[in-house]
Structure 1
Amino acid sequence: MRDELREKIARVCASKILSKGESVGVSFYAFFANKNDDPDLLMEAATWWIKTHKLNHFEKANKIKTMVEAGL
């Protein structure tokens, strides 16, 4: 996964955790606007989330942040 996407995911997760608490969940759609303005980046996130790690639709933001910061 490219660094730009890792940084964005970590930033969004941190923001969600701060605003909604430690137990907040996210899906990979949380990292994109409600429009398909960068389909390659969206598919990269979806592939990492669904194919690579076989994650559920919603996961804890803490878990996702830890994973991307660890380079998984």
Structure 2
Amino acid sequence: MRDSLKQRFIAGCDEKTEKKGDNVGLSFYAFFKNKNDDPELLMEAATWWIKTHKLDHFEKAVKIKQLILNDM
């Protein structure tokens, strides 16, 4: 996963946990606008989420952040 996408995921996880606490769940769609303005980046996120890590549709933000930090 490219660094800019990792940073987007980390920032999104931080934002959601600050607002809703450590128990908040996210989908990879949460890191994108409702418009599909960058399908290549969306598919990269989906591949990382679904194929690489075999994650459920919704996962805890703290888990996603830790997976990304472990990949860095």
In structure 1, how many angstroms separate the alpha carbons of the residues matched to 2:67 and 2:42? 18
Give the equivalent residue in structure 1 for 2:69: 69
Q: Which amino acid aligns with 2:65?
A: K
Runs of 4 or more, structure 1, over 4 Å off, are none
In structure 2, how many angstroms separate the alpha carbons of the residues matched to 1:13 and 1:47? 18
1:26-62, Cα deviation, whole Å (9 max, x unpaired): 0000100000000000000000000111100000000
Q: Percent identity?
A: 62
- What is the aligned residue count? 72
TM-score computed with the length of structure 2 as normaliser = 0.97
Ranges in structure 2 where 5+ consecutive residues have no aligned partner: none
* Aligned residues: CA RMSD: 0.9
SS of the aligned residue for 2:71 comes to: coil
Ranges in structure 1 where 5+ consecutive residues have no aligned partner: none
Give the equivalent residue in structure 1 for 2:52: 52
SS of the aligned residue for 1:36 comes to: coil
Q: Which amino acid aligns with 2:28?
A: F
